[in-house]
Amino acid sequence: MDQPVRHDSMRARNLALVLGEVSRGGPLTRAALAEATGLTKTTVSKLVGDLLDARMVTEAAAVRDGERGRPGVAVSLSGDHLGALGLEINVDYLSVCVMDLTRSVRLRRTQAVDNRYSISTDVARKLRKLALEAVDEAGLTIGGAVLAVPGPVDPARGLLHGAPNLGWRDIRPAELLDLPVPVAVDNEANLAALGELWFGSGAPDFLYVSGEIGIGAGLVFGGALFRGTRGFAGELGHVVVDPGGPPCRCGGQGCLERYAGQDALLQAAGLLPFGTDAEPVGGRGPAGIATLVERLRAGDGRALDACEQAGRALGVALISAVNLLDPGTIVLGGVFAPLFPWLSGPAARSLSRIGHAAPRLEVSAVGPDAASLGAAAQVIEQMIANPATHLSRA
Amino acid sequence: MDQPVRHDSMRARNLALVLGEVSRGGPLTRAALAEATGLTKTTVSKLVGDLLDARMVTEAAAVRDGERGRPGVAVSLSGDHLGALGLEINVDYLSVCVMDLTRSVRLRRTQAVDNRYSISTDVARKLRKLALEAVDEAGLTIGGAVLAVPGPVDPARGLLHGAPNLGWRDIRPAELLDLPVPVAVDNEANLAALGELWFGSGAPDFLYVSGEIGIGAGLVFGGALFRGTRGFAGELGHVVVDPGGPPCRCGGQGCLERYAGQDALLQAAGLLPFGTDAEPVGGRGPAGIATLVERLRAGDGRALDACEQAGRALGVALISAVNLLDPGTIVLGGVFAPLFPWLSGPAARSLSRIGHAAPRLEVSAVGPDAASLGAAAQVIEQMIANPATHLSRA
DNA sequence: GATATTAAGTCCATAACGTAGACTAAATCA
DNA sequence: TGATTTAGTCTACGTTATGGACTTAATATC
């Protein structure tokens, strides 16, 4: 931000401008790019030339749209050369994906592993193997990776402050991975929000609510994440729903997580005994939720009640979130996605008591690998925003 | 953001870089500026020349710090030419201040007026008169103005959505004022937060809580305001403290405002009857609060209880705010400032139940005209960030 | 089918700006 | 007094975008 502008950064900026336009606007001719960016045709031609040399864009066949005049040559992102790696460590699985510059997923690998109270170096070794195989197979030049972890992260220092469900504290996962590309680390909810941004409904401003064992939220504004001072923003799970409510492991009382977290839901539905670490009926995680959905479909009263209560609490927490953050819409993801038909009604009723227009509640359109998709997409976004660093004639 | 970079914008950017450094780092020689910005001495000299021509900076006498070598000429912001206007319309008063480029307040004018359920054009006329007199007297070239109003604003369109305590709805106050300079409009809490930023403790990241009739909050991040999608962010007053609590005029139940808003406080302390529009003992506004402070000092039990309750509720709301926004510190302003000794204890106790380290609670160091100071400072910041628009040789 | 028209893309001369290093100015040190 | 050191200016140069002329490749018109 407080860097001087020299000729080279001027060029870098304009290069990013052109590439960004290509990325957003699909295949465009040089003339259309000049129009869109406000640069002259001459300049655009030179910039596109550099991008072609760097294999970041390709020329398609001439565009003949039936108009008079010489047809333009469409320039579009090239998926053949550069790629990005998305990684995820979560409680029940490891996940890897390789994405090309066009944001197409080239390859996915998921490995079911129980990482509860695991040793971080072991997990890292497994993920490393998975990642290297995937990169090898995809055959792209990987420019970087982002790793999603289930806990608060300081992205600037790559520090995972703590992942309660893994039993990890103050770890630098990027160093453990030791991959031959730069690895950034971020929170799972944040990256799932980015996954929703790129592969979901397409809204540019929303609050993504990630229902997992804990409840997180990623706030996306104009296509960028809002992180807070220390990267702890979006801890929706510990918003107070009832100050006289039951105690929470965070030290507080009446946190949302105690009403709408996965364990609370399963307990209320009678699928998980009230001792925290017991094994639930139908298994924890996806399986437990699948059982819950079955019972909801069957009209089980206890299950329906559990969702009613959870939805209402979620709505109350969202009132606070809307008043403080003013998100465009609210997207429910994670385990809230399959439960959406039963949660959204009560949540919307709570939420509607807000003064001004309440934002819409939507289901996440992405799915369980939102975080690793978002992670890879984040790398791609960086590449498109900084094409100069990938130019061959550095 | 998606503008092409040409030679002129390159220059504009570097000009802003140099001026920003002068603004932050106090008087600096050209050599020191070259060091700080990363530009060459030649370039800095040329840029400083332009800034001198525009009378945005002045040269002081040579700096002789006892070192060897030719002494440098200190360049500092000039307070003699450009200035900014800060305006505020609030429930009990109108306020105007003129500030020069160095952020020194040149002139303040406050006029006590009861603006409850007033006619907007009348109020605008009074403020216009006050503003024109102030500008005339200050004798500076005014580059712009910002107006603080007590209600949610869309700053991009200059639209005040509603000011319940004034009885206004969907108004464009800048047009009513009809001043000969561009007038931007913003929320009072936001601008008070900026006032705190420039004239308070100096922290770059904090949540400013503005206790007035309503309770607002301005979130400052790295010296910039966070506004939310529609500019409604920071409505701390309607964060839910108790979902079973009393109804609020916003349509919700158990909002913070019902526990810690000025009227709620005065009512709980027995200084305001429970009919909303009755006249309180000792007067509403500052006078009412002054009476409350007196009673607190005297050890009045009802007053102490009122603050205890309000503080506790405030703390609960702040737990949610901290979890969602992750502010660096929390600054209490408005009527919360004089009540700080009695509020901060209970609030901090509620807040300390948060999992990770709770941010510090501080008193606002600014005072009641934080909003108009922040408004003027906002204009100055714009001028310093865009010096090219004020260059004579346009 | 030949020619005019239209639009895409390239070429070339020019202008703006920052850089690098030489140069001048003004102080302290010995 | 002269050497040294630092501030600031001057000059030649390189990079980049611009604007308009030019080339290319299509459609439209006769």
pLDDT in tens, B214-250: 899 999 988 888 988 888 888 899 998 998 899 887 8
Residues of chain B neighbouring A161 (CB-CB closer than 8 A)? 356
Judged by CB atoms closer than 8 Å, whether chains meet at A325 and B233 is answered as yes
pLDDT in tens, A322-365: 999 999 899 999 999 999 999 999 999 989 887 667 899 999 99
Residues of chain B neighbouring A239 (CB-CB closer than 8 A)? 319-320, 323-324
Q: Does A228 touch chain B (CB under 8 A)?
A: yes
Q: Which residue has the higher pLDDT, A68 or A14?
A: A14
Judged by CB atoms closer than 8 Å, whether chains meet at A4 and B17 is answered as yes
Q: Look at residue B277 in the predicted model and tell me its pLDDT.
A: 53
Q: Which residue has the tokens 């308070």?
A: B200
Q: Does pLDDT of B288 surpass 60?
A: yes
Has domain B201-365 been given CATH number 3.40.50.1000? Answer: no
Distance CA A23, CA A26 (A): 6
Judged by CB atoms closer than 8 Å, whether chains meet at A324 and B236 is answered as yes
Residues of chain B neighbouring A242 (CB-CB closer than 8 A)? 242-244
Say which range, A44-53, A381-390, B267-276, B356-365, has the weakest mean pLDDT.
B267-276
For domain A7-78, which CATH number applies: 3.30.565.10, 1.10.357.10, 1.10.10.10, 2.40.70.10? 1.10.10.10
| B residues 116..155 contacting A (CB < 8 A) | 152
Token reading at A112: 């079911």
Say which range, A210-219, B98-107, B124-133, B271-280, has the weakest mean pLDDT.
B271-280
Q: Look at residue B387 in the predicted model and tell me its pLDDT.
A: 95
CATH 1.10.10.10 in chain B: give the residue spans.
7-78
Identify any residues that bridge with B63 across adjacent strands, giving them in sequence order: none
Q: Which residue has the tokens 């092409």?
A: B4
Q: How far is A6 from chain B (nearest CA, A)?
A: 7
Q: Look at residue B186 in the predicted model and tell me its pLDDT.
A: 94
Q: Look at residue B355 in the predicted model and tell me its pLDDT.
A: 66
Q: Look at residue B392 in the predicted model and tell me its pLDDT.
A: 63
Mean pLDDT value of segment A52-58: 95
Say which range, A161-170, B75-84, B115-124, B135-144, has the weakest mean pLDDT.
A161-170
Judged by CB atoms closer than 8 Å, whether chains meet at B232 and A354 is answered as no
Of B38, B239, B353, the CB nearest to A320: B239
Q: Look at residue B394 in the predicted model and tell me its pLDDT.
A: 43
CATH 3.30.420.40 in chain B: give the residue spans.
82-195+371-385, 201-365
pLDDT in tens, A254-279: 999 999 998 899 999 988 776 555 45
Q: Does A5 touch chain B (CB under 8 A)?
A: yes
For residue A274, give Cα distances in angstroms to A25, A160, A258, A269, A285.
53, 29, 12, 11, 16
Nearest CA to B230 out of B152, B149, B151 is that of: B152
What is the pLDDT confidence band of residue A231, given thresholds at 50, 70 and 90? confident
Domain A82-195+371-385, CATH homologous superfamily name and number: ATPase, nucleotide binding domain (3.30.420.40)
Q: How far is B20 from chain A (nearest CA, A)?
A: 9
Q: Which residue has the tokens 């839901």?
A: A265
pLDDT in tens, A143-202: 999 999 988 888 889 999 988 788 899 999 999 999 999 999 999 999 999 999 999 988
What is the pLDDT confidence band of residue A281, given thresholds at 50, 70 and 90? low
Q: Look at residue A394 in the predicted model and tell me its pLDDT.
A: 42
Q: How far is A82 from chain B (nearest CA, A)?
A: 24
Say which range, A137-141, A288-292, A379-383, has the weakest mean pLDDT.
A288-292
Distance CA B336, CA B262 (A): 9
Mean pLDDT value of segment B315-321: 93
What is the pLDDT confidence band of residue B281, given thresholds at 50, 70 and 90? low
Nearest CA to A254 out of A307, A313, A179, A300 is that of: A313
Closest-approach nucleotide to residue A40, Cα vs C1': D18
Residues of chain B neighbouring A40 (CB-CB closer than 8 A)? none
